[in-house]
């Protein structure tokens, strides 16, 4: 019984404190803390690590995987599949191949 009463008190306190925030606080907290209007909030971008990129490329059937330096959200990958070497433009943040170009026959 005491537990339910405590929970109701905590929920009521949280509801009242949230409604007491002035309108100016919306613009102050929005860009910095993730609070505020939904159009100001941006989810943090978490991109794949080099290891994860290698694993995804290997899962797509490629071998001999070499990574170049990342450029923004993309990374160029050179990899072999079958009898060909490919240059792959990989979007590290979306986790998908953005483009692929056949370079030369594999040795």
Top CATH class of 50-105 equals alpha beta
For the chain, which residues make up each domain, given as ranges?
2-33, 50-105
pLDDT at 53: 95
Other Cβ atoms within 10 Å of 44 Cβ, number: 5
Mean pLDDT split into 10-residue runs, the chain, 107 residues: 61 54 48 53 76 95 93 94 96 93 93
The predicted pLDDT at position 69 comes to 84
The pLDDT of residue 70: 87
pLDDT value at residue 46: 82
Query: Do 88 and 66 meet the contact criterion of CB atoms below 8 Å apart?
Result: no
Q: Please list, in sequence order, all residues whose beta carbon lies within 8 angstroms of the beta carbon of residue 83, skipping any fewer than 6 positions away.
A: 105, 106
Phi, psi torsion values for 25, nearest 5 degrees: -65, -25
Q: How far apart are CA 23 and CA 11, in angstroms?
A: 22
pLDDT of res. 25:
47
């Amino acid at each position: 019984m005491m537990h339910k009463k405590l929970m109701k008190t905590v929920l009521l306190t949280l509801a009242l404190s949230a409604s007491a925030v002035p309108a100016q606080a919306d613009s102050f907290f929005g860009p910095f803390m993730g609070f505020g209007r939904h159009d100001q909030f941006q989810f943090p971008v978490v991109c794949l690590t080099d290891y994860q990129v290698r694993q995804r490329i290997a899962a797509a059937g490629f071998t001999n995987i070499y990574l170049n330096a990342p450029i923004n959200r993309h990374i160029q990958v050179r990899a072999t599949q079958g009898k060909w070497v490919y240059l792959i433009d990989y979007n590290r943040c979306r986790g998908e191949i953005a483009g692929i170009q056949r370079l030369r026959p594999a040795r």
